[in-house]
């Protein structure tokens, strides 16, 4: 039987304890999985540019090194999947996530394909308004959010979905989870499984530290920034009205 998905875990090369925990967590999975060494801010990734000025004009501040490295890591993993992946779906995990070993990912893939969904989150950072669009076994639901719930710790994405997301990105203007949340741009509906089958562990995070440090300098009022946010809001409203 042809494999339906593979797993890539984005991890710091020196995060030995996390890697050991991931290996133990995934050892019972039938799917092939591997680690991807997280990239740094200065890593070269084809097809991407990074401009501090554009980041300020769209996000209100310059992104930190950890945010840029995280962006490049997810981008590069999806880029390789689109070019060379041998399965129709990819599960991308970060190394601070625990995935329920008994959770049936193929059922989620079946449900997604029946509904022409190309990306399904297994975890989200925030509570946001949503509606139920399907039922899974074990009283789990497929829910579709009205706005971005944030987080890219654990998500299933198809080749077509990865290509759509990559094609919508020309430069690093926002954090990568904000880009995934721009569903009105790449047409990847913001859908997740609920209750979540993945859990984010409480471990030290360079990314969170980076965000706190740089967040203090975030600009609130600037013409191009306000114009960008208004445009995004209108496009999101139009998408939700159509769907």
pLDDT by residue for the chain (243 residues), tens only, comes to 678 999 999 998 889 999 999 999 999 999 999 999 999 999 999 889 999 999 999 999 999 999 999 999 999 999 999 999 999 999 999 999 999 999 999 999 999 999 999 999 999 999 999 999 999 999 999 999 999 999 999 999 999 999 999 999 999 999 999 999 999 999 999 999 999 999 999 876 666 666 766 666 788 789 999 999 999 999 999 999 988
Distance CA 149, CA 192 (A): 9
Torsion, Cα of 103, 104, 108, 109 (10° steps): 140
What is the reported pLDDT for 90?
A: 98
Tokens of 193: 């499984």
CA distances from 48 to 75, 79, 128 (A): 9, 11, 30
What is the reported pLDDT for 215?
A: 63
Are 181 and 148 in contact, with CB atoms under 8 Å apart?
yes
Domain ranges of the chain: 5-242
Tokens of 208: 């969170």
What is the reported pLDDT for 203?
A: 75
Angle (nearest 5°) at CA 84 between 81 and 85: 50
Q: Tell the CATH topology of 5-242.
A: Spore Coat Polysaccharide Biosynthesis Protein SpsA; Chain A (3.90.550)
Q: Which residues of 45-75 are buried (b: 16+ CB within 10 A; e: fewer)?
A: eeebebeeebbbbbbbbbbbebbbbbbbbbb
Tokens of 212: 């706190």
pTM of the model: 0.94
What is the reported pLDDT for 233?
A: 96
Q: What DSSP string runs through 84-117?
A: H-SSSEEEEEETTEEE-TT--HHHHHHHHHHTT-
Residues sharing a CB contact under 8 Å with residue 225, sequence separation 6 or more, in sequence order = 56, 57, 58, 60, 219
How big is the chain, counted in residues?
243
Alpha-carbon torsion (48, 182, 87, 94), positive or negative: positive
């Amino acid at each position: 039987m042809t494999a339906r998905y593979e797993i890539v875990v984005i991890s710091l090369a020196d995060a030995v304890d996390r890697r050991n925990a991931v290996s133990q967590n995934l050892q019972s999975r039938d799917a092939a999985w591997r680690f991807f060494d997280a990239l740094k801010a200065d890593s070269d990734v084809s097809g991407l540019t990074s401009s501090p000025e554009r980041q300020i004009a769209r996000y209100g501040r310059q992104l930190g090194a950890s945010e840029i490295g995280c962006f490049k890591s997810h981008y590069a993993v999806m880029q390789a999947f689109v070019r060379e992946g041998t399965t129709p779906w990819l599960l991308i995990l970060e190394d601070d996530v625990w995935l329920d070993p008994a959770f049936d990912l193929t059922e989620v893939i079946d449900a997604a394909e029946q509904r022409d969904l190309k990306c399904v989150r297994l975890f989200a950072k925030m509570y946001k308004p949503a509606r139920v669009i399907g039922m899974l076994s074990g009283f789990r639901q497929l829910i579709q959010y009205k706005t971005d719930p944030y987080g890219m710790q654990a998500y299933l994405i198809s080749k077509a979905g990865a290509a759509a997301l990559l094609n919508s990105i020309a430069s690093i203007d926002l954090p990568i989870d904000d880009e995934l949340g721009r569903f009105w741009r790449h047409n990847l509906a913001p859908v997740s499984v609920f209750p979540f089958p993945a859990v984010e562990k409480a471990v030290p995070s360079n990314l969170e530290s980076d965000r706190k440090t740089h967040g203090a300098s975030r600009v609130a009022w600037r013409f191009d920034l306000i114009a960008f946010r208004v445009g995004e809001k209108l496009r999101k409203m139009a998408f939700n009205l159509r769907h």
